[in-house]
Amino acid sequence: MTYPGIENDPASVEANPDRVAVEERRREREEEYSKYVAVSDIPWGNVNAYFAGERVSTTTAEKYDWLGLGLVEQVERSDAERDNTAASDRQEPAAAEPTTAQKVTAAAKAAKSKDEEVK
């Protein structure tokens, strides 16, 4: 997630330190989770730490040698994939599907306006 403008440019003297910190943390997490993917569900006690196909923390995978155990596989992300991930972080969330109550209200309004047109 990046923010346009001089107020958020990390090289700028006027950069907002909170936003700069958030951007740095996002980059760190992206790097941490960009190297390994779970091959199968990885249990941790009585729960699953990761499900098959999820990105796995590099630190954890290397600490417990999950690559050697066959629990994870190493993946390489191209620069284009990294750019797409960063771009998707900046996109606005999609509009939510209207609830049933909203649909009923809209239908009632439409029927009422239709009745008024007939009169």
pLDDT confidence of residue 17: 85
User: Is residue 29 domain-resident?
Assistant: yes
Mean pLDDT of 75-90: 59
pTM over 0.75: no
Residue 62: inside a domain, yes or no? Answer: yes
* Nearest-angstrom CA–CA distance, 117 and 97: 29
* Within-domain flag for 12: yes
Q: What is the mean pLDDT of residues 12-21?
A: 77
Q: What is the mean pLDDT of the chain?
A: 77
The yes-or-no verdict on residue 52 having pLDDT over 70 is: yes
**What is the pLDDT at residue 76?**
78
Question: Is residue 66 a contact partner of residue 48, using CB atoms and an 8 Å limit?
Answer: no
Longest dimension (CA), the chain: 78
Domain assignment present for 1: no
pLDDT at 41 exceeding the cut of 70: yes
How many domains does one find in the chain? 1
Quote the domain boundaries for residue 91: 6-118
